[in-house]
Amino acid sequence: MSAGPMNASAPGGAKTAFVTRSTDQTIALGRRLGELLEPGDVLVLTGDLGAGKTQLTKGIALGMGVTDDVCSPTFTIGMVYEGARMPLYHYDLYRLDDPSQLDDTGIFDVLGDDGPCVIEWGEQFIDQLGDERLDVVLSRLDDEAAPGEEPAREVAFYPHGARPEQIAAQMGM
């Protein structure tokens, strides 16, 4: 997590971004985030295949005191993990292509419920996921990597709403 937070204005809210230079740094960032989360928080993780969405979620789970191993729920669509204070709901909507399919996933039962909800590949259904959410955009910084080297990742937070803004502000401190 070098370089600390960078703030720049972006559509829909101020951006708070970090650069992580290894999987462990992404997990460490997620861990800090997980410690801040409260019931009902909604996080939409966006980024290409392999960008690090699940690794960040592993960190979030650690920060919440989840002891089970977190993996990508690509085939199950949704998973629930027991944290120390509350459950973590983890969704991966990659295999869905129509909003009508969301009903069967149970996601509407857990959004705003007794734990935070972390959603990979949720941007395609953003209209269904609510106005109050923390968008997290992960990108590979390919241009800065030496040939053959694994690129660092930018992890950028775009809050929508008062509670997500509070989370982003706390991450930036």
Ligand X SMILES: Nc1ncnc2c1ncn2[C@@H]1O[C@H](COP(=O)(O)OP(=O)(O)OP(=O)(O)O)[C@@H](O)[C@H]1O
Footprint of ligand X (CB under 6 A): 20-23, 25-26, 47, 49-55, 72, 120, 150, 152-153
Residue 47 near which of ligand X, Mg ion, none (CB within 5-8 Å, type-dependent): ligand X
d(CA 15, CA 107): 27
Residues touching Mg ion, count (CB under 5 A): 4
Longest dimension (CA), the chain: 46
Q: With binding defined as CB under 5 A, does residue 58 bind Mg ion?
A: no
Q: Where are the alpha helices (DSSP H) in the chain?
A: 23-36, 53-63, 107-110, 126-129, 162-172
Residue with Cβ nearer ligand X (47 or 87)? 47
- Name the residue whose CB lies closest to ligand X: 52
SS3 category, 21 = coil
* Lookup: tokens for 117: 């909800």
Residue 51 near which of ligand X, Mg ion, none (CB within 5-8 Å, type-dependent): ligand X
d(CA 155, CA 163): 19
Residue with Cβ nearer ligand X (34 or 52)? 52
Stretch that binds Mg ion, among 21-29, 66-74, 133-141, 155-163 (CB under 5 A): 66-74
Residue choice 53, 58, 90, 133 for contact with Mg ion (CB under 5 A): 53
Cα dihedral 136/82/89/76 (nearest 10): 120
Contacting residues toward Mg ion, per CB under 5 A: 53-54, 72, 120
